[in-house]
Amino acid sequence: MIALLFAVAMQAVSDSSARPRPVRDTLTYESPALRVIITEAARFNRRVPASLGSYRAHMESEISIGSQRPDKGELSVSVEQVASELTWNRTGAFEQRILGYRSQSMGLQFASIGFFRNAWAVPSLYGNRLALLFGRDTMSRRPPGRRGRNDRATVYAVHPFADDRERVYQFRDGDTVQVIRVGERAIPIVRVRVEPRSDVPDATVIFTGEVDLDATRKNIVRMRGYFARVGGPKSKFDLLGQARLQGIAFVELVNSEVEQAFWLPSYQRFEAQATAPFIGDARAVFRIVSHFRSYDITAPSGRVTSSAPTLADTLQPMEHRLSFASADSMNRFAAWRTDLGTLSSGVAATDFDDVAPDLWKVNGPPRTTVRPERVHDVVHFNRIEGAWTGLGITRQFRDQLPGLTVRAVAGYAWSERAMRGRTIVEYQRGRLRYGARIGRSLDITNDFRVAFDSGNATGALFGVDDYDYVDRRSAMFSVARLLADRFGSAVRLDVGMADDRNAVVSMAQAPIGRRSFPANRMALEGRYARTALTFEWRPDISGELMRIGYGGRVYYERGDGDLTYHRVELRGAMRWNRGRVTIAGRADAGQVFGSVIPPQQLFELGSSEALPGYGFKEFAGNRAALFRGMAMYRFNVWTAPLRLTQRFWLPSPSPAFAVGMQAGWADVSTAAARVALAELTPVPDPTLLALWRPVSRPSDGVRATITGGVRFFGGAVGLLLARPMEQSGKWRLMLTFGQQL
């Protein structure tokens, strides 16, 4: 998975052949005053300041992988932290030496640093060209006889302030956007909008976005936008084209004034986002966030001269080297300045939406695409439907009707011989989002599910289908208020009508392995008015995911009609790293009220709901609570990554002592709940009587399992002892893969 995302990230820069949308105005500069600003900035930026000879600095980076989902924010599955020492001089020579490494991930994967061939830091924003991620700051020509592995990896972009900028770029704005203070100096910041010309030559890598300038000294303070390659031959390894992926490489390069004389890197963010028609609105995200510190500046040893000072680019074509300290040295490294996860937890994939290309913008000409809402709409498999295949179409009205989007999804269940689908209309104005949805769905009745659990996609092919289902028709209207934290927090109200019906197993055995499926549990059938109010705070934090912080959810639902009930759910989640210690946890609780409680609204707990050692949905009731938590203490040994091949590395083994607990409670408190529990039986089917699962029961107190042992590879692999906390419980040895709570 990490290799695929890394390849997508690189090709988002080097193999994107889509020509960016040019501005209509063909003038290079929007005003004469802006021309003066850009000309002055280009003159100062072309050459490294005469008094800057070299520098040595330290850098900490976090490399994270995840996905952005509109309904759940960003789901982060791995984070790697890298400590580096940087050395640079005015000739263009640059080396990034990796001194320390540590990581955490949900599952065992390859270390991303194995895929890098050159330094990923951009050591300065001087010169005529920018070398992106891999490579070097250089003139546009590579030196004779120096073609090799590093050159193949280098991607060059024309600098917005290069000598030949006017053949590539157009410039807009140029207003003062803020004034920052450094010591006693007040520095006005001018923001320039950089956009490509309509006639950019093919095979050119260009920048689109914003450039902030020190209006006094004309130095670059920040660049923020994205890079794309216009035209040119396709790569032989055209991963984006073959998979119909659409990838964009965003960057944010921030300089700070060092010694009140030089603007040098202080913060850099590289982010590749990729999407495809078959994965719906989700985006894969590959991100590097770096902070620079402890600059040691050295003046030139002699006088700086140039034969053509008005045209010369002082930076020579030298490699940007990436090197590693010895394994022994990396195993001893402990000089971390920030806790793991801190650098990447404060950013979101939506931060770049305002500078995104036309393809991802909410404005522009109307657009119709063959794209489902989520990947589950394309293909999935379960014991009710069998194989299900579908197709989705999305219409974004954009400038025609700003904020309006219409989606339609339809598919066929081949074993069940049934059609399902939905039509969705959404209208967003500012932070308010209105919606209408009508359709037929196969809804899951499992409780307290984790963030990345979107249903059974492929497990049922092998006989694993730990879900129960209800066949539901519904017509709903919604209004949501998006909160200002950028991480998916929102308050939402849903009102409408629903019709619940029993779902019957259509496949008795799995296609692979011929494992028998159990029957589906019964639902109380009927039509009812459904109302739901949801407050969700930081859905990107769930305990299992790698984001640090705190999140929560409050949910209220009621039914009126054939099904009359009230349902309340509460959730709190956290993940915390401090030094070598990691603590993660999640707590859920809920209760159902009503004179007639539908069985499908009861809470069910068991092996599929984070209670290992117990049966499938062994416990049930109208009120329940579930806690799952884990703590790790990492030993400062074996912290160097393991090199398998030239490209594929494993993360450091980094053993950690780990303890965990999963505790659940389910109880029946009313006569209506006892009736519902008695009805919570498999749907009668004479052909499947032998496959009925045992009827659920109250837990008779708290049922818990404790674990303890050693975890490796950032918690992804565990060798643990587990024991139910009952008198008859026995210890058992487990080898686990994945960091689920």
pLDDT digits 0-9 by tens, 58-110: 999 999 999 888 777 788 999 999 999 999 988 888 899 999 999 999 988 99
Say what the pLDDT of residue 363 is.
82
Q: Please, are residues 112 and 6 in contact by the beta-carbon 8 Å criterion?
A: yes
8 A C-beta contact, residue 347 and residue 289: yes
Rg of the chain over Cα atoms, rounded to whole angstroms, equals 29
**Amino acid 439: pLDDT:** 96
Residue ranges of domains in the chain, CATH in brackets: 2-334 (no CATH), 362-632+664-703 (2.40.160)
Alpha-helix residue ranges (DSSP H) falling in 572-724: 671-679
pLDDT value for 132: 63
CA-nearest of 140, 123, 155 to 227 is 155
Structure token digits, residue 72? 């759940």
Give the per-residue pLDDT at 270. Answer: 93
563: Cβ contacts below 8 Å, ≥ 6 apart? 500, 524, 526, 527, 528, 596, 598
In whole angstroms, give the CA distance from residue 593 to residue 602. 10
Q: Which two tokens stand for residue 523?
A: 């639902």
Residues of the chain under the 50 pLDDT cut: 16-18, 22-26, 134-153, 236-243, 306-313, 686, 688-690
Are residues 547 and 345 in contact, defined by beta-carbon separation less than 8 angstroms? Answer: yes
Task: Give the global pTM.
Answer: 0.88
Residue pair 439/474 in contact (Cβ under 8 Å)? The answer is yes
Q: Between the CA of residue 256 and those of 55, 83, 93, 121, 622, what are the distances in Å?
A: 14, 20, 21, 15, 58
What tokens appear for 43 in the block? 């003159």
Q: In 10 A of CB 626, how many CB atoms?
A: 22
Predicted pLDDT of residue 607: 84
Q: Which residues of 628-638 are buried (b: 16+ CB within 10 A; e: fewer)?
A: bbbbbebeeee
Per residue in 687-699, pLDDT (tens digit) is 544 455 567 899 9
Q: Where do runs of H (alpha helix) occur along 434-505? A: none
SS3 321: strand
pLDDT value, residue 269: 95
Name 156's bridge partners.
131
